[in-house]
Amino acid sequence: MNVKRGEIVELNIEKYAFEGRGIAKVEKGSIVPEAIDESKNKYVVFVDGSYPGDKVRAKLTKIKKSYAEARVTEIIKPSDLRVKARCKFFGTCGGCKQQDLDYSTQTKFKQQQVEEIFTKMGGFNDLAIEEILPSEKIFFYRNKMEFSFAEKRWLTEEEIKSGKKIEKDFALGLHIPKIYDKVLDIDECFLQSDYSNGILNLTRKFFKERNSSICSAENQEGFLRNLVIRQSHHSDDVMVNIVTSSENDELMNEYKSKLLEAIPQITTIVNNINLKKASVAVGDYEKVVYGNGFIYDTIGEYKFRISANSFFQTNTLQAEKLYQTALDFAELNGDEIVYDLYSGAGTISIFISTHCKEVYAFETVESAVNDAQENAILNNINNVHFISADLYKSFLPIVDERKLPKPDLIILDPPRSGMHKNTIEDVIKLSPEKIVYVSCNPTTQVRDIKSFCDSGYRLIKIKPVDMFPHTYHIENVALMMKNN
């Protein structure tokens, strides 16, 4: 059989691959005989929407010499690993990729994913791989949800088949994967809270009734951009942040009154005004419509002030486990000088502050540095020093200029893209005895760790921490020590 892209094939799923895809292995020559590497007896097909044990029909989307890609069109026989997804939007919405997979199996696959990245991609075999820390809550675990307004609504298959007349020019919800200009209009989500769903639905109704315009993805004209809801897990604080492209105080005050009348639990309302063309839920400036413009949450024994645009770990309960893992790996005795790179709002720095002598926290985003300084004051922490630094160039000149003491330990918590090579070189020059690397992307993490290990460090151990149930994302903590 010599099939082409777009054709349907029947496959048995044998293994699990990265990013939530199943793997089918077919006999050489059964799909595209002229494309097979002669040294291999099996041809690999990566199948979106499948799990080990599934028998499926799948549409081929890409055919290469050594592999093919496909997506499920029909499940002929479901895997025993499958469960019924709780959300009616699952499969269309891009938020949860694995809600139909048993949670214990999700964590098992994530553990395997991290192990394979480090042993096969990284080539590390002489290290300890600790057991994954599962999430305490698998629903209603997020403290932040970001929804988008769109003037083009994505219709589900059920809506199309219903034959009903559906309004298509107003949506508030979540983007469909790889579709930048259409949004799935949702009325419930099980990732944050019932409060969040109430705010979402009231906001949609309020602005639709007033015929408010939506900022177009094409020409960037229109008023409404995003709705961002932040909620504390350890207090009753709830923030509503409405992101618009201009000011309208009269409308915002009316919106405030309707919100508070229906949901009095809301403690603050903020209007971020984004004047840029970029479709981001961050304003050039903000106006506080109600309350003080902040919420407060705790990690461990520490309290943190969270503004509308602050970075704060999305799963509060798991954040404490993540930071405790980093602290356990560090094995501090109280006398160390610690550098915390990509320190954000100061959460890790403050969390470890009583276990070491001094912490010097470096962060690129100025507003995050301001938040961190406020959080240190809030917790009466005096041994943490927050410093603005461009971690995409070099922070060593700041260390030299201020005559900062050399670090015994450096903690790294970069974005998904990993570290810039200049920052890696700076860390190597500082030559700390230990490096603890916290990452939300093990693939870029192992790339960076290989650079450290090529320059005098050895990888001791790693431990995955699941921050995002029902997704294929995984955090990982790694400990490196300098070779003596």
- Which long-range contacts (C-beta less than 8 Å, at least 24 apart) are formed by 154-163? 154/92, 154/179, 154/182, 154/183, 154/184, 154/185, 156/89, 156/92, 156/184, 157/92
Cβ atoms of residues 296 and 371 within 8 Å: no
SS3 355: helix
Cβ atoms of residues 267 and 295 within 8 Å: yes
End-to-end CA distance of the chain: 59
Cβ atoms of residues 181 and 215 within 8 Å: no
SS3 229: strand
DSSP code of 119? I
DSSP code of 85? -
Comparing CA positions, the residue from 200, 208, 209 lying closest to residue 151 is 208
CB atoms within 10 A of CB 173: 23
Rounded to whole angstroms, the Cα distance separating 333 from 213 reads 58
Cβ atoms of residues 17 and 25 within 8 Å: no
Comparing CA positions, the residue from 213, 211, 206 lying closest to residue 258 is 206
Rounded to whole angstroms, the Cα distance separating 285 from 275 reads 9
Cβ atoms of residues 41 and 89 within 8 Å: no
- Which long-range contacts (C-beta less than 8 Å, at least 24 apart) are formed by 241-244? 241/269, 241/270, 241/271, 241/272, 241/281, 241/286, 241/308, 242/203, 242/269, 242/270, 242/271, 242/272, 243/271, 243/272, 243/273, 243/274, 243/281, 243/282, 243/283, 244/215, 244/271, 244/272, 244/273, 244/274
Q: Which of 189, 356, 440, 453 is catalytic?
A: 440
Q: Let me know if 96 is a catalytic residue.
A: no
The catalytic residues are 440
